[in-house]
């Protein structure tokens, strides 16, 4: 199926897709951001553009981090093929969700590699997609949800006051942002990269794994990487990021909302509190 890009699509993006011989098969929008999938002569590609000026540094940041991380090694990210001020095109990796011992071990190796690196952080100004209105809507939504607000407050304090050493972090390492292809874990969406407590990424990923065996293997590997002496602090961080993940899945925003996923993690919460 061939889809035409909407009128607000950057001319340079359309020209680059045309030069690649790309045929757009899927297009969707999230506010003033647009995303598309296409099939080119060299394989599938994924592109995005935005008509919000707040997103311009976000796109530049994404392209720069991907250039630094690269597509070879324990930590991998799909390469950016072409980019402009308000758009970028990247290789679209075709793979499967992370599961099983080999997949979990690949994520552990990628997280260990990432923690040792230096990556630029993006300064967010609180406007655009993360507006005050959107934040107020999320808080109101949580007030009437099955997630106790005392857990939300406790989770926020744990992350803010964690004694774990700060390391380089992806910041949004959930199951949809990592896929297995060619025996390697590929990580996408680097908008939130920065410095966070050791184990942050792995504990966030832990909360999004549906299989108990995978969660157990990831936990054991994370304890080994962060250090046995930090096991209690890591368990607190696991609880806090499970709470944050539940809150995110209860969000009124369609892109984040996942009620079945929220219920699954809520069932784990009583054990995590202790």
Cα–Cα distance measured from residue 203 to residue 116, given in angstroms and rounded to the nearest whole number = 17
Cα–Cα distance measured from residue 231 to residue 223, given in angstroms and rounded to the nearest whole number = 6
Per residue in 224-260, pLDDT (tens digit) is 999 999 999 999 999 999 999 999 999 887 777 899 9
Are the C-beta atoms of residues 64 and 56 closer than 8 Å to each other?
no
Confidence of residue 129 (pLDDT cuts 50, 70, 90): very low
11-91 shares its CATH topology with 100-273: no
Q: Where are the domains of the chain?
A: 11-91, 100-273
**What pLDDT does residue 1 have?**
43
Residue 260, CA atoms < 13 Å, CB-side half-sphere: 2
Element (H, E) at 187: strand 184-187
Per residue in 8-62, pLDDT (tens digit) is 999 999 999 999 999 999 999 988 999 999 999 999 999 999 999 999 999 999 9
Pick the closest to residue 272 from 206, 195, 186, 176 (CA basis): 206
Domain 11-91 CATH class label = alpha beta
More confident site: 136 or 99: 99
100-273 CATH: 3.90.1200.10
Share of the chain above pLDDT 90, in %: 84
């Amino acid at each position: 199926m061939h889809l035409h890009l909407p009128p607000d699509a950057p001319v340079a993006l359309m020209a680059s897709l045309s030069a690649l011989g790309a045929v757009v098969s899927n297009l969707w929008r999230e506010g003033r951001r647009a995303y598309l999938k296409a099939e080119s002569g060299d394989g599938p590609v994924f592109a995005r553009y935005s008509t919000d000026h707040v997103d311009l540094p976000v796109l530049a940041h994404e392209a720069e981090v991907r250039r630094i991380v690269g597509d070879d090694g324990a930590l991998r990210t799909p390469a950016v093929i072409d980019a402009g001020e308000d758009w970028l095109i990247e290789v679209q990796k075709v793979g499967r969700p992370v599961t099983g011992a080999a997949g979990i071990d690949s994520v552990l190796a990628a997280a260990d590699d990432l923690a040792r690196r230096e990556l630029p952080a993006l300064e967010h100004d609180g406007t655009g997609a993360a507006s005050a209105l959107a934040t107020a809507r999320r808080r109101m939504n949580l007030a009437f949800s099955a997630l106790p607000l005392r857990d939300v407050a406790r989770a926020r304090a744990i992350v803010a006051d964690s004694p774990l050493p700060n390391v380089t972090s992806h910041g949004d390492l959930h199951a949809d942002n990592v896929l297995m292809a060619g025996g390697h874990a590929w990580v996408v969406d680097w908008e939130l990269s920065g410095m966070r407590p050791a184990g942050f990424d792995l504990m966030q990923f832990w909360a999004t794994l549906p299989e108990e065996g995978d969660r157990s293997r990831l936990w054991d590997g994370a304890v080994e990487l962060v250090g046995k002496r930090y096991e209690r602090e890591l368990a607190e961080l696991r609880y806090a990021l499970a709470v944050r993940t539940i809150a995110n899945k209860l969000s009124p925003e369609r892109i984040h909302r996942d009620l079945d996923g929220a219920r699954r993690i809520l069932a784990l919460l009583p054990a995590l509190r202790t």
